Amino acid sequence: MKGLVALASGFIFALGLGLSGMTQPHIVRGFLDVFGAWDWRLLGVMGGAIGIHSITYRLILKRPSPILDTKFQLPTKKDIDLRLISGSILFGLGWGWAGICPGPGLVGMLSGNIVFIYFIGSMLLGMKVFQMIEHKFGSKT
């Protein structure tokens, strides 16, 4: 049952990304260009997502447990460190430069567009390099 719910959720999420324009790099870059030719179309997508999340998150956490699990799996780490800040900066720079983030990149790969294939390949390579660096120098977390 969990797998079926996960598959349906992923399908709905992918459909939403595609319909909203989040899989079109030129629209995403236009949204991030607030001092140039700003494209406001994704403001509704982000505003809607933040609004729905801010309401439902609190309601869901009032339940004793999730519907398909015995307990909530919430992050426990709360400190803001150099690793978090540098990762956020790298993510933001990559998103702004490419106009693609991981979710829309995976959805876009289904189109066969080579740009998305390069993006996902580069992302996986970057994750592997990070893993090798973490292994060599050790994680401080």
Query: Number of folded domains in the chain?
Result: 1
The region that residue 119 occupies, defined by phi over 0 for left and psi between -120 and 50 for alpha, beta otherwise, is alpha
Q: With bands split at pLDDT 50, 70 and 90, how would you rate the model's confidence at 121?
A: very high
Rg of the chain over CA atoms, in angstroms? 18
Phi and psi at 74, nearest 5°, equal -105, 150
- Residue 124, pLDDT score: 93
With the C-alpha atoms ordered 116, 120, 121, 125, is the resulting torsion angle positive or negative? positive
Residue 62 predicted with pLDDT over 90: yes
25-47 pLDDT, tens digit per residue, is 988 888 888 898 888 888 888 89
- Residue 9, pLDDT score: 92
What's the predicted TM-score (pTM) here?
A: 0.72
C-alpha dist (Å) from residue 23 to 18, 41, 52, 127, 134: 6, 13, 21, 21, 31
Domain span holding position 77: 2-137
**Which of 44-48, 60-64, 87-91, 107-111 is predicted most confidently?**
60-64
C-alpha dist (Å) from residue 90 to 5, 45, 112: 32, 23, 26
- Residue 97, pLDDT score: 87
Contact 23, 104 (CB under 8 A): yes
**Helix 25-32 vs helix 41-61: crossing angle, to nearest 10:** 90
Residue 104 predicted with pLDDT over 80: yes
